[in-house]
Structure 1
Amino acid sequence: MKKTYIWLTQNYLSIITPLILLSIWELSSRLNLIENTFLPPPSLILKEFFILLLNGELIKNLLISIIRVAEGFFIGVSLGIIVGIQVALNKNLQKAVRFIFGILRPIPVIAWIPVLILWLGIDESSKVAAISIGSFWSVLVSVVQAIKNVDKKYLEVAKVLRKDYKTILLKVILPSTLPQIFTGIRIGIDVAWRSVIAAELIAASAGIGYMIMYARELFQIDIVLVGVFSIGLTGIIIEELLKILEHHLLRWNTNIYQEEASEKP
């Protein structure tokens, strides 16, 4: 109970502000200041949300999208970490791929979707590939930058002690870079979530993006907005879960900072 009170005290503005905006929106709709055909009131959207929730349509489409994100994100993150480590530690490889990566990295994921559909078809493979591409670059950049920022003294000490490549990687480089890598992973999951929606809007027969597109064609704006807000809520939940995972995995890093702070006069 005390923790809940402290949390509410610290985050009351984050709670009050959306409630005020929703109240203004609802009131404006009831006073006909907003055209309800194009922007239904929050009460109608909430009603439609519970209808879709209870009949299972919203959960079904969200789960399909989440599974696609999980598959593509795992592939993208794995490749991003592996390639990022190799590029960061090998100067010749850096020079070899600099121009190629410079061309490919700025290309938005949505531009790849028509190409992936031609190569892989409209089934799950093209969507998973689009998500993998989106998350790959975020993680790759974070890994490369994190390894470049590793304190050179640690690497020099490891070399003086004649540690092998595997030991230096696992005991020196990765522990030092994990906080930054997690930042890249969190950015990557955001990009992955946006990528799957883009893919589903273009070519899909299920998923939250497909639900939004189908409702748009039927001019069911309330369902479109339910889908849009569901994407945002799911994104917040995923972000919080990653923060919890990061906190547990990097607890040692937090303890170090706390010890350093306590030692300061």
Structure 2
Amino acid sequence: MKPDLKLILSVSSPLLLLIVWQAVTAFKLFPPEVLVSPTAVVAAFGEVIATGELQRHLSESLTRLAGGFTTGASLGLLFGLALALSKTVEQVFGPTFQALRQIPVLAFIPMLILLLGIDEVFKIVIIAKAAFFPVALAAYDSVKGVPKSYFEVSSLYRAPWWVLISKILIPATIPNILAGVRLSLTRSWLVLVAAELIVADSGLGQMMEMGRQMFRLDIVMVGVIVAGVIGFGLDRLFQLLQAHALRWKTA
């Protein structure tokens, strides 16, 4: 497919949605309290930009995301590797890990509120939990998927441990691990916004909740659109970084 045609097709879908949205509000098929027009959303966007409200809430959310995601993904990587490389760790912690990863992240919110309150620690922990399991599972499955013959050859030639890691484990596992990190980043952002909607005094989700309480659906829609754009941007940025990190595969 030619680049120009691909760009046109990519733009046509959101443009069509915008046209339908504008037409529905213009014909007043829904009351303004239920569905606001795109022009009202644009005006609200300019309002929250001018007052600095959007920048403040978005900065709070991104700071929490950075702290929670970095913590959760790092711990998940270490735990997943330990789970795959140590039979003792797998026997002791494997069943619990497999059970806990099936529980939705938001189900932990009431318990974590009781334990940690509603301060920043709670928000960091809930994001870290969302990031932990996809990375841990990706690391575990990746290492388990490395053929045993690789290790046998390494043992036969008495290769040092750093050669085993740099020449065998990393090239064989890094693609799947990066895919797990990408998934965990998306999940972390979704969980963060949802948690801020439920319990927070700042952040993008809280801005949307305040808009709902004030019957400002235009501000709510601003939050929804910004959340979608930020999520898409984070995913696309990591996709580019992933392609750059794995460029050796196509070399």
Q: Which amino acid aligns with 2:79?
A: V
1:181 corresponds to: 177
Structure-2 separation of matches of 1:98 and 1:248: 33
Question: Quick check: 1:47 aligned with 2:43?
Answer: yes
Matches within 5 A, 1:10-159: 10-159=6-155
After TM superposition, give the deviation of residue 126 of structure 1 in Å: 0.5
Asked if 1:244 is matched to 2:240, the reply is: yes
Q: Deviations 1:211-253 (Å, cap 9, x if unpaired)?
A: 1111111111110111011100000111111012112222112
- SS of structure 2 residue aligned to 1:175: helix
1:191: how far off? 0.9
1:97 deviates by 1.7
Cα shift readout 1:26-69 (whole Å, capped 9, x = no counterpart): 01211112222211011211221122123221121111101101
Specify the SS of the correspondent of 2:62: helix
1:149 maps to amino acid: G
Using the alignment, how far apart are the partners of 2:37 and 2:105 within structure 1? Answer: 33
Deviates further, 114-123 or 226-235: 114-123
Shift of the alpha carbon at 1:120?
Answer: 1.9
**What SS does structure 2 have at the residue aligned with 1:35?**
coil
Contact 2:57 2:203 in 1 (8 A): yes
**1:92 & 1:254 partners in 2: Cα distance?**
37
After superposition, the C-alpha distances for 1:5-26 in whole angstroms (9 at most, x for unaligned) are x643223212101111210110
Residue 221 of structure 2 is aligned to residue 225 of structure 1: yes
Q: Distance in 2 between matches of 1:121 and 1:8?
A: 52
Distance 1:125 1:210 in 2: 17
Matched residue, 1:261: none
Q: 2:112·2:122 contact (CA, 8 Å) conserved in 1? A: yes
- Alignment of 1:192 with 2:188, yes or no, is yes
2:146 and 2:172 in contact (8 A); partners too: yes
Secondary structure of 2:57's counterpart equals helix
- Partner letter of residue 138 of structure 1? P
Larger displacement relative to structure 2 (51-60 or 17-26): 51-60
Cα-to-partner distance string for 1:110-164 (whole Å, 9 max, x where unaligned): 1212222222221110000000001100111111111122233322221112123
1:198 is displaced (CA, Å) by: 2.2
Where in structure 1 are there 5+ consecutive unaligned residues? 1-5, 256-265
Q: Which moved more, 1:75-84 or 1:47-56?
A: 47-56
**What CA distance in whole angstroms lies between the structure 1 residues aligned with 2:215 and 2:189?**
25
Alpha-carbon distance, 1:108 to partner:
1.3
Cα deviations by residue, 1:160-180 (Å, 9 ceiling, x for unpaired): 121233431233112211111
Q: Distance in 2 between matches of 1:72 and 1:166?
A: 30
SS at match of 1:81: helix
Gaps of 5+ in 2: none
Cα-Cα RMSD:
1.5
Q: CA deviation at 1:95?
A: 2.1
Please report the TM-score for the alignment, with normalisation by the length of structure 2. 0.94
Task: Name the SS of the counterpart of 1:194 in structure 2.
Answer: helix
State the secondary structure of the residue aligned to 2:146: coil
